[in-house]
Structure 1
Amino acid sequence: MKTIKPLLLALTALIAACEKISIPDDGRQPQTEKTDDYDWKETFDIDSTEQRCLTVSEAIETDIGTVITVRGYIVGSTRRNMRNAKFRPPFDGKSAIILSDLKLTECEGFYMDELLPVCINDFTQHQDRLNLVDNPQLFERQITITGMKAIYLGQPGIKPLIWHDLTE
């Protein structure tokens, strides 16, 4: 009991010493509930990125922390790490898709440094639409994505995914 009183006293003093921080009003209404339908187009100019679409190889060489747009083929999926990657159906990972410049039918295999893992579990709308477990028809389909270049699953990747468009 003797140690609790000084801790409570110190905590009370710390709280009393805190200043109120005011955030300037920018005219926008605060978002009251979390939704997965947040429109990234309000804060990000998607049309301007279409002109700077990178290949998977170029995206791998881009600096970490850069917002990039990449076009490639969905060649696999994984969960937890790249050692669990599956490049043939049936797929079992719903948290990431793997992009390549080539379809598996166009080459004999992949080297890990030619692949770009993309985290799709940050927003359920991306995970529901892009995971290969529920959408096996997306295997080897071309996709254009915009996201933040990061180290993901131990190698260059995209996290978070901001926008995607499945190309015909």
Structure 2
Amino acid sequence: MKRNQLTVLLFSALLLVGCGKTVLPSEDDKDGPVPAASTDDEAEQDVYSVAAFRSGSFGERYVWVQGYIVGACSRSIRQAEWEPPFSLEAAVLLADSPGETDPEKVISIQMVGKKMKREIALADNPENYGRPIAFYGVKQKYLGIPGMKKHVVASEWLDE
């Protein structure tokens, strides 16, 4: 009887040791563990335009990108809202010039968390349309175009 209890206890201990969090790849194979933010001061000072960000290859490095908020989006770039009134709050679209509506010249930035949605998303802040802003994060495909998804760790208004 004690041997069976000891065997069950040992087996249970082995199962617990073998348990761990499994990180599954996303549909675009770019999500996963959060990459470490850069500690290189020079890299953190580089601020990319939307065009440079779209064409750049940064790996999992955190970078700054700046542009004008030109629209709102959710699910796909085909559902973008380019003019007020805005109803979508999942993402904002950035471009190098205010008023841009060409999907080939914009990037998407996911509104990560309630605070970003409350302060930046166009559904609650239509006055942010056309404002210049910078975001710090990792380049990933989002809404079918280049952008930042999940790993957006900072933003800064450029007109204040």
Say whether 1:67 aligns with 2:67: no
Structure 1 residues 109-128: aligned runs within 5 Å: 109-120=100-111, 122-128=112-118
Gaps of 5+ in 2: 1-7, 19-36
Whichever residue aligns with residue 157 of structure 1, its letter is: G
For each residue in 1:29-75, what CA deviation from the matched residue of structure 2 results, as whole angstroms up to 9, or x when unmatched? xxxxxxxxxxxxxx666975562000001111222533110110000
For 2:155 and 2:123, locate their aligned partners in 1 and report how far apart those are by CA, in whole Å: 18
Query: Structure 2-normalised TM-score?
Result: 0.72
Task: Determine which of 38, 51, 56 is the counterpart of 2:50.
Answer: 56
Rounded to whole Å, the distance in 2 between the matches of 1:46 and 1:77 is: 32
Aligned: 1:140 with 2:130:
yes
| TM-aligned CA deviation for residue 111 of structure 1 | 2.4
Structure 1 residue aligned with 2:144, among 154, 159, 168?
A: 154
State how far apart, in whole Å, the 2-side matches of 1:86 and 1:147 are. 23
Q: Tell me the C-alpha RMSD between the 2 structures.
A: 2.6
Percent identity (aligned): 26
> In structure 2, what is the Cα distance between the partners aligned to 1:110 and 1:132?
15
CA contact (8 A) 1:49 1:69 kept: no
Counterpart Cα distance in 2 of 1:141 and 1:62:
24
* Structure 2 residue 71 is the aligned partner of structure 1 residue 76: yes
Q: Is the 8 A contact 2:65 2:135 kept in 1?
A: yes
Q: Measure how far apart 1:165 and its partner are.
A: 0.6
Q: How many residue pairs are counted as aligned between the two chains?
A: 132
Residue 85 (str. 1) matches residue 80 (str. 2): yes
Contact 1:129 1:135 in 2 (8 A): yes
TM-score by length of 1: 0.69
Rounded Cα–Cα distance in structure 1 between residues aligned with 2:45 and 2:118: 28
Instruction: Pick the structure with more strand per residue.
Output: 2
* Ranges in structure 1 where 5+ consecutive residues have no aligned partner: 1-10, 22-42
Change over 3 Å in CA distance of 1:19–1:117 after alignment to 2: same
